[in-house]
Structure 1
């Protein structure tokens, strides 16, 4: 996942970028609003999945930057600011921000919010794509294609090279979570929270068992990669 961090404080930006990179994100730092807007230009700028936008920028107010981003690019924006009053939150969301996080924040919660807005954006973009013309090759609405693996979210159907694979409810939920953001590292705590709806304590072994079971049933051991000390990510086969 590529993330644009818009933050004028060098020390804050360096510390946050280090944490985000540790969790598998690619981070580009913009120090003011104009630098951020230039980075989001279609040519020759790179594409980003999420923008983390501080409001206290030296050249212009972050609210104005958010408004200009909305006119320029369809990209999730999370405002990260010390402004905790309700009016600021409402104003930011009305301008098009996808989320609003108040400093000081918990890093784990920030990571969860980043992944959440990115997933919503990916799903909305997929639903907006026109269906393929060939009815035989056309995937079902909400289907994810991962090399030989197809994951159909609405019907909870999984196939490998056209062969149906029987998964338990939690096995499917785990695969669907990873499959919606291929290449993104999901922390163990985040997976437990989203799939099992509980905390990490006492559930770690359950997660390991389900990952092992998925690798075996799909006959693709390398599909789900263990990121030591962090969690798991899905690697799409060539």
Structure 2
């Protein structure tokens, strides 16, 4: 009822299995999943949906424990919110997720990247990793890789500045549109997910600061 007052058309499901059926029938713009669902919990439902779709998913839970937060993110959620929360806060998070998954509202700003001529400026090639920013396609050694919109935005930031350290707070601002201090575990888990898809060796951790994309794999 609160979300409808803010202008969102809403369909609801009482349990995870009903939610999976509703997702397949309706194909919504965004999924808001509670962790504590009967029959199939929110984390399990998130995993099932990620096998079929890359649409944005926002998890909510009454438990702010790190294990619950990380489990939801590792299952494929784009973001999470911990109850209790103000409705206006939830609406702001929903709008932020929808806005950033529109892809992309701006090109990431290069940070001291070395110049290099390219036959097609919309294509970035770095050590066997190819990102076509026009078609929004990613390939590793010629094989297409499917990324969620959030993962793709994260990769765009890395490929705009290969070899350059990107701090976690900077990534939160650019990828998640957070202009305030937020939980950097969101960044860490998404980097893990991105590594699993493009190769763990491609993204280097700079302990205590952030991450950088290696110019060559290995």
Shorter-normalised TM-score: what interval? 0.3 to 0.5
Q: Which has the larger radius of gyration?
A: 1
TM-score, structure 2 as length reference: 0.47
If asked which structure has higher relative contact order (CA below 8 Å, sep 6+), I would say 2
TM-score, structure 1 as length reference: 0.44
